C-alpha cells in the first residue's frame, strides 16, 4: 500500500466495516428479540387476548401485569413462577374444562395457592421461566413435575394421618403395610408389620411336599394341568407371600429345613372315642359336618373358592387364610389341636378360641380334611424323603439369605438387620441417585419405582426382592405411597405444618380383658380407633345398645343389616363370659355425653309413638333405607327390634346428629325438631320383634356372598 493512501478508507474496508456493523447490531439484537419472544411473554399476551374474548374481561385482567409473576414464600423455600403462565389460577370463572391450558383455574382444594405455592405439591422447577425447565428433568434439575395421577403422594408427604380425600394414597399405605414391606425396608408412618406365620413348629403342621409346592407357586396354587384354580390376587384377597425366584435345589433345601422345624410338639388331645365312633359310621357325616362349618360362620374370616358359571372366585372374609385346599395341607392331629386352641401353636394369632364340643371338633375337622381337598395338588412335586443334614444346613443358610427370616420367625434364627434398602426418602430421590441397569425405561423416579415393583430384577439383576403380582390400580397406589416417602422436610416452615399420625391403642382391663383376648374381639371390631374394620365400631356400644340385648346377641348372633350374609361367628360362650362382656360394654364403653340413663323411656306416651310412626312413614319416609317387619330399604340396619336393641338416649342423640356419634356413617343429619326426635324415639322404642332362635337349615343355605359382616 502506498504511503499517501495510509489512513484512507478503501471501498473494501468500508464494506467490511459496514457488514461487521450490521452483524454486530444483529447479534446485539438477538438478546432483546429472544427476550421479547420468551415463552412466558407469549402466554402473557395470549392471556390478554383470551380475556378480551370473554364477557368478564375486566375481572380477569384486574391485576394483570406484563411482568413475571411469582409466589415467594421464604420460610418454605418456595419461589414459584408458575402463575406467570398459569394466569387464571385463582379465577373461579375459568374453572371449566373448556378453558384452554395454561389458563384454567385450579380446582378448589383446602390449600390456597398464594399461601402454599405450586411446587410443594406438584414438584417441578419453580423459578424456571421456560416450559421445559419448569416441567421436566434437566441436567440442573432432576425433579420433574409429578403427573396428576400420582399427586396424592404430595398430600402424604405432610399428612401422615390418612385422609378421606386421598383414596389412592390410603390404599397404597394399606398395601405397603399388608404386604409387610416394612419387614425388609425402612418406611415412615406405617402400621407395625404383621409378620408371616412363625415357623418354629411348621414341620408338625404340614408336609415337606406341600412346602415345596408353596415355595414354587406361593400366590397361585396351580393344579396338575397348569390351570390356576384359585388366583388369590384376582379376588382382591391376596396372599401376602410373594414369589421368590428360587431354583429347584434351593426349594429342596428350604423344604428340608422347614419340615425339620418341630420345636413345640402338638398338644395331645384325644377326641371322645364314643363321639368319633358314633359319627364316623353315619352316612350323612359330611353333609352334617358342612352344615356345622357354615353355622359357625367360619367364612366370615376365611374365604373359600367357589366355581359358579365357569368362574372361580374366592368368597368369604379376608381375615384368615383361604381354606379351599386346606385338607391337602395340614395333618389331622394338628388341625384338631389348632381348632381347640390356636394360640397353643401360634401365640400371636387372631383366631378366637371357640368353645367347641368334641362333636363339633370332629365334624368340622372331618369337613376340612375330607371335603376341602385336592388330590392332584401335590402330583407335580417330586418324591421327597426326610431332609439330609446337608440339605437342612443349606436350607437354614438360604432362609437367612433370601430374607425369609424377615417375615417368618423361627426360634434360634436371627434375621439380618436392615435387609432391604431404607426407603424413607425414596420419593425425594433424583434420577442420578437411582440404578437403572439395562432396563429400557425412561430415566426418572416414577418409572424406576414402577419397574422395580413389577419386576425387581429388570433394574437390578442381583436384586433380592421377591416378585409381587399387581393389578394396575394397586401398582399405582403403592407407587403413590412410595412417592410420599420424602424423608424429613428440608425447610423449617413445612416441618411445623406436618400433620403427624395418631397412634391408637386400646387396652381393656379386668375380666373383660381375658375374654377380649380369648375371642380376639379386636380382629373384627374397632375400639377407640384400634382394631379391625370388618364389623361395627364398638367404641360407644355401651351408650348404644341395651345390656340385655348385648347378652342375647352374643348367645345368638344374627345379622341386623338386611343385605349382609357374613355375620359374627357363634362362639359358644359361657353365661359367665356373656355377662362379663355385656356388663363391661354397658358400663365402660360409653360415649361420655350420651348417658343411657339420661332418657327415661317411661315418658313416652302412645300418642307420641303414633306421631312418630307418622313421621317415619310419611314425612321423612325412613322406610326408603330401613326395614321394619320385612318391608323397606336395604341401606340401614333393620329396626324390627329397635326397642330392645337401642337405648332411648342413643336414639335421640343419633337422630340429632348421627355424624357426631359415628363420623363416617352415611345416614344424613336431618332437620328434626326436638318434638319430632322425641316422637320418633317413642315410636322406635315400641318396635320389639325379638329375633327368633336360629334354625339350622336357614343359615346353612344362606349364600356366602357379600362384603362386610353383620352384627
Eight-class DSSP state of 442: -
On whether the CB atoms of residues 566 and 709 are closer than 8 A, the answer is yes
Cα-Cα-Cα-Cα torsion 415, 421, 424, 427, nearest 10 degrees, comes to -150
Beta strands in 256-415 (DSSP E): 304-308, 311-315
CB of 168 to other proteins, least distance (A): 5
CB of 210 to other proteins, least distance (A): 33
Q: Does 167 bind other proteins (CB under 8 A)?
A: yes
Q: CA 415 to CA 413: how far, in whole Å?
A: 6
Q: CA 301 to CA 523: how far, in whole Å?
A: 10
Binding other proteins (rule: CB under 8 A), the pick from 18, 23, 278, 588 is 23
Q: Is the bond preceding 102 in cis, omega lying within 30 degrees of 0?
A: yes
Which residue, 15 or 62, has its beta carbon nearer to other proteins?
A: 15
Q: Does 458 bind other proteins (CB under 8 A)?
A: no
CB of 36 to other proteins, least distance (A): 13
Only segment of 13-21, 70-78, 378-386, 458-466 that touches other proteins (CB under 8 A): 13-21
Which residue, 454 or 572, has its beta carbon nearer to other proteins?
A: 454
Backbone conformation region of residue 593, classed left if phi is above 0, alpha if psi is from -120 to 50, else beta = alpha
All cell numbers assigned to 182: 416394612
Q: Does 669 bind other proteins (CB under 8 A)?
A: yes
**How long, in residues, is the chain?**
711
Cα–Cα nearest to 340, from 265, 271, 289:
271
All cell numbers assigned to 402: 433370601
Which residue, 497 or 625, has its beta carbon nearer to other proteins?
A: 625
Which residue, 223 or 667, has its beta carbon nearer to other proteins?
A: 667
On whether the CB atoms of residues 192 and 202 are closer than 8 A, the answer is no
CB of 99 to other proteins, least distance (A): 7
> Which string of x and - marks every residue 597-636 that binds other proteins (by CB under 8 A)?
---------------------xxxx--xx------xxxx-
Q: Does 214 bind other proteins (CB under 8 A)?
A: no
- Which residues in the 101-140 window bind other proteins by CB under 8 A? 101-103, 107-109, 130-132, 135-136
- Which residues in the 433-452 window bind other proteins by CB under 8 A? 442, 444, 446
How many residues touch other proteins (CB under 8 A)? 76
As to burial, measured by CB atoms within 10 angstroms (0-12 exposed, 13-18 middle, 19+ buried), residue 220 is: middle
On whether the CB atoms of residues 557 and 570 are closer than 8 A, the answer is yes
Backbone conformation region of residue 352, classed left if phi is above 0, alpha if psi is from -120 to 50, else beta = beta
CB of 619 to other proteins, least distance (A): 7
DSSP reduced 3-state for 670:
coil
Only segment of 279-287, 331-339, 351-359, 700-708 that touches other proteins (CB under 8 A): 700-708
Q: Does 62 bind other proteins (CB under 8 A)?
A: no
Only segment of 160-168, 425-433, 585-593, 599-607 that touches other proteins (CB under 8 A): 160-168
Binding other proteins (rule: CB under 8 A), the pick from 9, 18, 26, 411 is 26
Q: Does 647 bind other proteins (CB under 8 A)?
A: no
**Element containing residue 585 per DSSP (H, E):** helix 575-588
CB of 147 to other proteins, least distance (A): 4
The rounded Cα 304 to chain-centroid distance in angstroms is 22
Which residue, 492 or 563, has its beta carbon nearer to other proteins?
A: 563
Q: CA 562 to CA 280: how far, in whole Å?
A: 38
Which residue, 52 or 696, has its beta carbon nearer to other proteins?
A: 52
Amino acid at each position: 500500500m502506498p504511503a499517501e493512501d495510509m489512513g484512507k478508507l478503501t471501498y473494501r474496508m468500508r464494506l467490511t466495516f459496514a457488514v461487521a456493523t450490521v452483524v454486530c447490531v444483529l447479534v446485539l439484537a438477538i438478546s432483546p428479540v429472544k427476550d421479547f419472544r420468551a415463552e412466558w411473554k407469549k402466554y402473557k399476551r395470549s392471556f390478554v387476548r383470551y380475556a378480551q374474548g370473554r364477557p368478564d374481561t375486566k375481572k380477569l385482567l384486574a391485576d394483570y401485569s406484563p411482568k413475571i409473576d411469582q409466589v415467594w414464600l421464604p420460610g418454605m423455600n418456595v419461589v414459584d413462577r408458575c402463575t406467570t403462565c398459569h394466569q387464571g389460577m385463582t379465577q373461579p370463572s375459568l374453572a371449566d374444562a373448556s378453558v384452554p391450558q395454561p389458563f384454567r383455574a385450579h380446582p378448589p382444594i383446602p390449600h390456597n395457592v398464594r399461601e402454599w405455592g405450586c411446587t410443594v405439591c406438584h414438584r417441578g422447577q419453580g423459578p424456571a421461566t421456560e416450559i421445559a425447565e419448569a416441567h421436566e428433568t434437566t441436567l440442573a434439575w432432576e425433579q420433574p413435575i409429578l403427573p396428576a395421577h400420582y399427586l396424592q403422594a404430595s398430600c402424604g408427604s405432610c399428612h401422615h394421618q390418612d385422609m378421606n380425600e386421598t383414596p389412592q394414597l390410603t390404599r397404597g399405605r394399606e398395601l405397603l403395610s399388608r404386604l409387610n414391606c416394612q419387614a425388609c425396608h425402612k418406611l415412615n408412618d406405617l402400621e407395625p408389620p404383621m409378620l408371616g406365620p412363625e415357623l418354629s413348629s411348621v414341620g408338625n403342621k404340614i408336609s415337606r411336599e406341600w412346602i415345596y409346592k408353596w415355595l414354587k407357586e406361593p400366590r397361585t396354587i396351580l393344579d396338575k394341568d397348569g390351570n390356576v384354580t384359585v388366583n388369590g390376587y384376582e379376588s382382591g384377597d391376596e396372599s401376602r407371600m410373594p414369589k421368590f425366584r428360587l431354583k429347584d435345589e434351593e426349594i429342596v433345601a428350604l423344604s428340608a429345613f422347614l419340615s425339620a422345624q418341630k420345636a413345640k410338639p402338638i398338644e395331645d388331645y384325644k377326641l371322645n372315642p364314643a363321639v368319633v365312633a358314633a359319627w364316623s359310621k353315619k352316612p350323612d357325616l359330611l353333609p352334617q359336618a358342612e352344615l356345622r362349618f357354615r353355622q359357625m360362620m367360619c367364612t366370615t374370616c376365611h374365604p373359600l373358592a367357589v366355581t359358579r358359571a365357569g368362574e372361580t372366585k374366592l368368597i368369604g372374609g379376608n381375615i384368615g387364610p383361604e381354606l379351599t385346599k386346606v385338607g391337602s395341607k395340614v395333618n389331622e392331629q394338628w388341625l384338631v389341636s389348632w381348632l381347640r386352641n390356636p394360640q397353643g401353636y401360634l401365640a400371636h394369632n387372631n383366631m378366637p378360641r371357640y368353645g367347641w364340643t368334641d362333636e363339633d371338633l370332629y365334624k368340622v375337622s372331618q369337613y376340612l380334611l375330607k371335603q376341602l381337598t385336592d388330590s392332584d395338588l401335590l402330583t407335580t412335586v417330586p418324591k421327597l424323603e426326610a431332609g439330609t443334614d446337608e440339605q437342612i444346613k443349606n436350607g437354614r443358610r438360604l432362609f437367612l439369605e433370601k430374607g425369609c427370616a424377615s417375615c417368618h420367625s423361627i426360634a434360634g434364627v436371627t434375621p439380618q438387620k436392615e435387609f432391604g434398602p431404607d426407603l424413607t426418602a425414596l420419593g425425594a430421590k433424583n434420577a442420578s441417585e437411582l440404578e437403572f441397569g439395562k432396563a429400557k425405561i425412561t430415566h426418572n423416579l416414577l418409572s424406576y419405582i414402577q419397574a422395580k415393583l413389577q419386576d425387581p430384577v429388570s433394574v437390578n439383576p442381583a436384586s433380592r426382592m421377591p416378585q409381587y403380582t399387581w393389578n394396575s390400580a394397586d401398582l399405582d397406589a403403592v407407587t403413590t405411597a412410595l412417592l410420599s416417602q420424602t424423608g424429613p422436610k428440608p425447610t423449617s416452615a413445612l416441618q411445623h405444618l406436618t400433620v403427624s399420625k395418631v397412634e391408637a391403642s386400646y387396652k381393656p382391663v379386668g375380666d373383660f380383658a381375658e375374654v377380649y383376648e380369648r375371642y380376639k374381639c379386636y380382629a373384627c371390631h374397632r375400639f377407640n380407633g384400634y382394631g379391625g374394620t370388618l364389623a361395627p365400631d364398638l367404641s360407644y356400644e355401651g351408650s348404644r345398645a341395651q345390656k340385655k340385648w348385648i347378652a342375647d346377641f352374643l348367645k345368638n348372633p344374627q345379622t341386623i343389616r338386611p343385605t349382609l350374609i357374613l355375620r359374627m361367628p357363634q362362639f359358644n360362650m359361657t353365661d359367665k363370659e356373656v355377662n362379663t362382656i355385656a356388663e363391661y360394654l354397658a358400663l365402660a364403653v360409653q360415649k361420655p355425653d350420651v348417658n343411657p340413663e339420661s332418657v327415661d323411656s317411661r315418658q313416652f306416651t302412645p300418642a307420641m309413638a303414633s306421631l312418630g310412626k307418622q313421621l317415619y312413614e310419611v314425612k321423612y319416609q325412613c322406610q326408603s333405607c330401613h326395614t321394619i317387619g320385612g318391608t323397606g330399604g336395604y341401606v340401614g340396619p333393620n329396626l324390627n327390634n329397635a326397642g330392645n336393641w337401642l337405648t332411648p338416649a342413643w336414639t335421640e342423640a343419633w337422630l340429632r346428629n348421627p355424624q357426631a356419634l359415628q363420623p363416617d356413617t352415611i345416614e344424613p343429619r336431618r332437620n328434626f325438631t326436638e318434638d319430632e326426635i322425641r316422637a320418633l324415639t317413642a315410636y322406635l322404642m315400641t318396635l320389639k320383634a325379638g329375633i327368633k332362635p336360629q334354625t339350622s337349615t336357614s343359615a346353612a343355605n344362606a349364600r356366602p356372598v357379600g362384603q362386610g359382616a353383620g352384627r
